[in-house]
Amino acid sequence: MKHRTFVFIGIAIFAVAATILISRQQPKTPLVPDFQSFAAGAERKQAFFDYFTPIVNTINGEILADRTALLAWRERKTDLSNHEIKRIQTLANQYKLEDFDVSQEADWMALIQRVDMIPPSLVLAQAANESAWGISRFAREGNNYFGQWCFSKGCGLVPKQRTEGEIHEVAAFGNPQASVESYINNLNTHAAYQGLREIRATLREQDKIVSGVALANGLGRYSERGQDYIDELQAMIRHNQLDRLDPPASSSTN
């Protein structure tokens, strides 16, 4: 079992707020297909990608709307309203940054580094890898497509081959979208993936594509397989041409 260690004054702000509102008004996630009903190979892969790509794009869109707002607020950090400060503090809490201080540039930099999208190619490759293209027990029974663990009794599904004395369960989610949201938040917040976030920040500074192949290099602690796991994810991305789904640098929020 793999081990899992577990976002111009006036007119500009109004536009950002409108963007956030629109991004939140997305249709509900469609019912998850029975991926076992599709023939293994190209047919099942296509069904898997067709289902999850819109989910990933919706979640990333919401994160990038928050990032746009955050960058605008940072530009006028000495002239923020109480409502704006409250919203920023909510984001800091969501992204697990304690004692965020709007007067401290280091705090802003840390939050901006976390509030960012995960390339669709990487999300899809990991989901496919961890869930066996949606047919694993944990995907079917717990909507868990990323092998995420939890540690309180009854929080998920008990692995059949769990070592005696261990207490972890494989987390259960109400729907696949919740699984994707939890996974993205995990990569954006956990100390184990600081390297991934630094790779992403460097790519943004250089105005390069934030690609799944590049960010996969920051997942050395996602699996006990280490570099072999990273190599496998990168091979999946290339073989399935998933990198074509990653937005170009010019369309992302720096």
| The pLDDT of residue 11 | 37
| The pLDDT of residue 9 | 36
Tokens of 89: 């503090």
CA distances from 239 to 104, 121, 228, 247 (A): 44, 11, 16, 18
What confidence tens digit (pLDDT) does each residue in 159-189 have?
777 777 776 888 999 999 999 999 999 999 9
E-state strands within 148-234: 149-150, 156-157, 169-171
Sheet (strand 156-157) strand order: 149-150, 169-171, 156-157
Model confidence band, residue 2 (pLDDT cutoffs 50, 70, 90): very low
User: DSSP class of residue 27?
Assistant: P
Taking phi over 0 as left and psi of -120 to 50 as alpha, with beta for the rest, 131 belongs to alpha
The domain over range 11-251 is classified in CATH as 1.10.530.10: yes
Domain ranges of the chain: 11-251
| The pLDDT of residue 157 | 77
pLDDT for residue 42 is more than 80: yes
* Angle at 178 (CA atoms; ends 130, 193), nearest 5 degrees: 60
| The pLDDT of residue 119 | 98
| The pLDDT of residue 155 | 82
pLDDT for residue 250 is more than 90: no
- pTM value is 0.85
* 171 vs 179: CA distance, rounded Å: 9
* 147 vs 171: CA distance, rounded Å: 8
| The pLDDT of residue 14 | 38
Q: What is the mean pLDDT of residues 135-150?
A: 93
What confidence tens digit (pLDDT) does each residue in 75-84 have?
999 999 999 9
* Mean predicted lDDT score pLDDT of the chain: 88
| The pLDDT of residue 252 | 57
The answer to whether residues 212 and 120 touch, using CB atoms and an 8 Å cutoff, is yes
Q: Which of 29-43, 170-184, 191-205 comes out lowest in average pLDDT?
A: 29-43
Tokens of 247: 């937005």
pLDDT for residue 15 is more than 60: no
